[in-house]
Amino acid sequence: MNYQKIEKSIVSYEGSDLWLSKNQNGDRFLCSPGNPLGLTDQIEPGIFALSAHNAALMRKYFSWLNPQPLGLQTSAGTGDRLGLATTGHILAFEGSGIAPIFAQQSVRENVRTHRTPQQVMDDAMWGVFEMGWRLPWGADGDHLKNSEDIKSFVDAGYTFFTIDPGAFVCKADPKISNVQLIESLDDFNFESFQISLDSLLKSYNTQKLPVENINCSDHDVLIALIKYGKAILHVKEMFLDLSQRMGLKPFDFEVSVDETDWPTSVFEHYFIANEMKRLGIQWTSLAPRFVGRFEKGVDYIGDLSQFETEYKIHAAIQKYFGNYKISLHSGSDKFSIYRICATNSDYKIHLKTAGTSYLEALRVLALIEPKLFREIYDFSRKQYDTDKVSYHVSAEFSKMPIPDELSDDQLPVLLDNFQARQALHVCFGSVLDQFGKELLVMLKHNRDIYDKTIKNHFSRHLADFIQ
Among 30, 75, 3, 23, residue whose Cα is nearest residue 324? 75
Alpha-carbon gap, residue 283 to 267, rounded angstroms? 19
Alpha-carbon gap, residue 70 to 210, rounded angstroms? 29
Name the CA dihedral angle for 315, 316, 322, 325, rounded to a multiple of 10 degrees: -10
Q: Is 18 helix (H, G, I), strand (E, B) or coil?
A: strand
Radius of gyration of the chain from its Cα atoms, rounded to whole angstroms: 24
| Helices 117-131 and 86-93: angle between axes, nearest 10 degrees | 50
Q: Is 140 a catalytic residue?
A: no
Alpha-carbon gap, residue 12 to 414, rounded angstroms? 46
Q: State the catalytic residue, choosing from 254, 268, 275, 360.
A: 254
Q: Is 198 a catalytic residue?
A: no
Q: State the catalytic residue, choosing from 109, 122, 140, 142.
A: 142
Q: Is 62 helix (H, G, I), strand (E, B) or coil?
A: coil
Alpha-carbon gap, residue 115 to 124, rounded angstroms? 13
Q: Are the C-beta atoms of 320 and 211 separated by less than 8 Å? A: yes
Q: Are the C-beta atoms of 384 and 425 separated by less than 8 Å? A: no
Cα-to-chain-centroid distance, residue 95: 21
H helices of 206-281, where? 218-246, 266-278
Distances (CA, A) of 243 to 147, 180, 236, 240, 252: 12, 37, 10, 5, 11
Catalytic residues: 142, 254
